[in-house]
A and B are shown apart, each in its own frame.
Chain A
Amino acid sequence: MAGNESLAGENGGQARRKAVMAVLAHSATTDIAGRLGMIALPVHEDLREPENGLVMVRGRVGGDGAPFNLGEATVSRAAVRLSTGEVGFGYTLGRDSEKAKLIALCDAMVQSDEFAAAVEAEVIAPLREAMIKERSRKAAEAAATRVDFYTLVRGEG
């Protein structure tokens, strides 16, 4: 899972941005907007107008072999630039361009020394917690349907 990726190494900055994007892609637009509303936002502009399009989703033969094209999915994307120069990108499944723009804004803020801590504390951390909670709930529901085999001892003859 992207959220559990190591943040160490030379690509630490990139891994951190990916982890933030993963949380946001899994969150509802209203939740992201609500959380962002609690902090002072930096001056920013659209680097690219939000745009809806498609990506071809690929699988692998046998799950682990050569890739093949499974089918497409709708995606929305956006890019914003802070007045201080940081450029953020937002990509998300679906056609919600507002969400793509909010993700792009968060991605830009995460790269800014001034805003990174606030975004992490006020936006990402609570959304990550909600995402993990939701996953745990689904995992617990599935776990209740796991079969516990026991062998019946058969009588003589």
Chain B
Amino acid sequence: MYVAVKGGERAIENAHRLLAHERRGDRDIPELSLAQISEQLSLGVDRVMTEGSLYDRELAALAIKQARGDLIEAIFLVRAFRATLPRFGATEPVDTGAMQVRRRISSTFKDIPGGQVLGPTFDYTHRLLDPQLADGAAPDAPATGEASTGATPRVTDILGRDGLIEPSPPAEADVPVGDLTREPLSFPADRDLRLQNLARADEGFLLALGYSSQRGYGRNHPFAGEIRFGEVEVEFMAEDAGFAVPLGSVALTECQMVNQFKGSATQAPCFTRGYGLAFGQSERKTMSMALVDRTLRARELGEEVIAPAQDEEFVMSHSDNVQATGFVEHLKLPHYVDFQSELGLLRKLRKEFAVANEAPPMQEAAE
């Protein structure tokens, strides 16, 4: 129970003023621009877009600036903003196979059509702090090579041709796509809703769950079949124009996990799969998402549900960091009356305890 408490208005106003002052920091240091955040803290922007569930680099950069670099606070701001705009509709599903690839690797096949393209990656860096960067040294221009004109098919499509991997669940006509921003969650949840939930889920939460599944809390046995990052074209069926209009492109990261087999008396064994997709360059996020997408298929694949990562109600109910923050941080709100009643109860219990202990020892032994 919360009680309306009056008298804090001036304190709150001054606290916000102090916050704005602290956010600005030392005024002798140049102020950050949104373009600087967007260009130079781009992976933070990508995370805020993904978990804020809104693709808009400039807004995500503003949110990061306003939140003083607290990404979960920034995600909260972005989520609140999206509620202020009308929704025109849904896009045509994007074709990640036609992605303009900036990075594309497979840990299952060395030689894949289109090749292993490392792109801008932290992999293979020595993770040593770079003093030159502290001094603001200008980096060399990137090297260029001869781009291949061939297609870059998804690795899972190649495996699928031989039937070695299960096909993706096909689109069913007349079945609406679930949207958890419009209808409250109910369980069991279908895969479309699970993937939407995982796409906006907290990266750290998914990372820990994915990791737990690798350590044995839920069967998984994954290989990173493919990870790709790049620009994908988006089209929207515009009722007024009467055809699907191009909107431009979004940067996406996709991860295809390939997992151990499933077969039956009537079906030859084949690899199973888990899927991850996120805005921007979000590799850790999509890998974790793909691991958890696969563990959450336990029920569908007839596996025993024994670990947290396999329990869809547990995962989906606790994955959203805005919801989680709200409930954890609401503890800061005044609980004066609640606490008074607990205090009253505790005093009563202590009194009873004291009375019982003052009594002669014989009586206690007789209990």
Contact = CB atoms under 8 A, between A and B. Distances in A.
A58 B147 CA distance: 29
Interface stretch (B211-219, B243-251, B320-328): B243-251
B18 interface: no
Contacts of A138: 100, 102
A157 B196 CA distance: 54
A11 to B, nearest CB: 8
Given A55-B91, A67-B93, A89-B245, A149 B110 contact: yes
Interface stretch (A35-43, A73-81, A112-120): A73-81
B55 A74 contact: yes
A143 B54 contact: no
Given A68-B177, A91-B236, A93-B234, A57 B250 contact: yes
B91 A65 contact: no
A74 B250 contact: no
B172 interface: yes
A140 B147 CA distance: 5
A57 B55 contact: yes
Contacts of B143: 141, 144-145
Contacts of A121: none
A76 to B, nearest CB: 10
Contacts, number: 241
Scoring A11, A22, A91, A135 by chain B CB atoms within 10 A of each residue's CB, the highest score goes to A91
Interface string B81-99: 0100111111111101110
Given A2-B246, A145-B118, A55 B90 contact: yes
Given A55-B87, A74-B56, A68 B192 contact: yes
Contacts of B243: 11, 14, 17-18
Contacts of B244: 18
Contacts of A73: 54-56, 91, 234, 247, 250
Interface in B242-300: 243-250, 252, 254, 256, 273, 275, 277-279
Interface residue tally on A, bucketed by range: 35 or more
B195 A61 contact: yes
Contacts of A18: 243-246
A7 interface: no
A131 B329 CA distance: 47
A139 B147 contact: yes
A57 B101 contact: no
Contact of A62 (B82, B199, B256): B256
Interface in B176-211: 177-181, 191-193, 195-196, 199-200
Scoring A21, A72, A143 by chain B CB atoms within 10 A of each residue's CB, the highest score goes to A72
B245 A65 contact: no
18 contacts: A25-B246, A51-B86, A54-B86, A57-B91, A57-B94, A58-B94, A64-B154, A66-B192, A67-B192, A69-B178, A69-B180, A73-B91, A73-B234, A79-B240, A95-B58, A136-B147, A142-B117, A143-B144
Interface of B: 49-50, 53-56, 58-59, 82, 85-94, 96-98, 100-103, 110-111, 115-119, 142-148, 154, 156-157, 167-172, 175, 177-181, 191-193, 195-196, 199-200, 230, 233-236, 238, 240-241, 243-250, 252, 254, 256, 273, 275, 277-279
